[in-house]
Amino acid sequence: MNIIRVKDAQEGGKKAFEVIQEGMNKGVKTFGLATGSTPESLYSTMVASDLDFSDKISVNLDEYVGLSADDDQSYRYFMNSHLFDQKPFKETFVPDGKAADLDAECKRYDQVIEDHPIDIQVLGIGQNGHIGFNEPGTSFDITTHVVALTESTINANKRNFEKVEDVPTHALSMGIGSIMKSKKLILMAFGVEKADAVKGMIEGPVTEELPASILQKHDDVVVIIDEAAASKLK
Which residues are near ligand GLP by CB under 6 A? 34-38, 61-62, 124-126, 132-133, 153, 157
Nearer to ligand GLP, 90 or 169 (CB): 169
Cβ 70 to ligand GLP, closest distance in Å? 20
Nearer to ligand GLP, 57 or 198 (CB): 198
Amino acid letter at 153? T
Kindly name the residue from 60, 128, 134, 157 that is annotated as catalytic. Answer: 128
Alpha helices by DSSP H, 75-225:
75-79, 102-115, 151-157, 176-181, 195-203
The angle formed by the CA atoms of residues 75, 76 and 82, to the nearest 5 degrees, is 85
Instruction: Tell me how far apart the alpha carbons of residues 89 and 53 are, in angstroms, rounded to a whole number.
Output: 5
Nearer to ligand GLP, 55 or 69 (CB): 69
- Is 130 part of the annotated catalytic residue set? yes
**Cα end-to-end distance, the chain, whole Å:** 15
Kindly name the residue from 60, 119, 130, 157 that is annotated as catalytic. Answer: 130
- Is 209 part of the annotated catalytic residue set? no
- Is 116 part of the annotated catalytic residue set? no
Nearer to ligand GLP, 20 or 211 (CB): 211
Instruction: Tell me how far apart the alpha carbons of residues 62 and 133 are, in angstroms, rounded to a whole number.
Output: 7
- Is 157 part of the annotated catalytic residue set? no
Cβ 173 to ligand GLP, closest distance in Å? 7
Instruction: Tell me how far apart the alpha carbons of residues 40 and 7 are, in angstroms, rounded to a whole number.
Output: 16
For residues 132 and 173, is the Cβ–Cβ distance under 8 A? yes
For residues 178 and 143, is the Cβ–Cβ distance under 8 A? yes
Active site amino acids: 62, 128, 130, 135
